[in-house]
Chain A
Amino acid sequence: MSNILFSAAAFIVALGALVTFHEFGHYWVARRLNVKVLRFSVGFGRPLWRRVAGADRTEYVIAAIPLGGYVKMLDEREGPVAPQERARAFNTQSLPRRTAIVVAGPLFNFILAIAAYWCTFVIGINGITPLLGEVDPQTAAGRAGFQQEDRIVSVNGEPTPTWSRVRIVILEQALDSDAPLLVQVQDAQGGTATRTLPLPSRSLLKEEGDFIGELGLVQWFPDVPPRIGGLLEDHAAARAGIAVGDLVLRADGTPINTWREWVTYVRGRPLQDIRLVVERAGGEVELQLRPGLKDTDAGQIGYIGAYEVESRPLLARMRTTVRYDPIEAAAQALERTWDMTTLTLRVLGKLLTGEAALRNISGPITIAQYAGQTASIGIDHYLNFLALISISLGVLNLLPIPVLDGGHLLYFAMEAVTRKPISERVQMYGQQIGLMILFGLMGLAFYNDIARLMG
Chain B
Amino acid sequence: MAKLIIKDLYVSVKGTSILRGLNFEMDEGETVALLGPNGHGKSTLIATIMGDPKYSVDGGSITFDGQDVLAMSPDKRSQLGLFLGMQYPAEIPGLNSADFYKAAMNSHREKPMALFQFYRELEKAYKEVGIPFEMNSRNLNEGFSGGEKKRNEILQMRLLKPRIAMLDEIDSGLDVDAINVVSDVINEEHARGAGILVISHYARLLDLVKPTRAAIIINGRIVVSGGPEIIKRVDTEGYEWIKTELGIEVAKEINPAMNQVSIGVCATREAVKNEK
Do A and B interact with each other, yes or no?
no
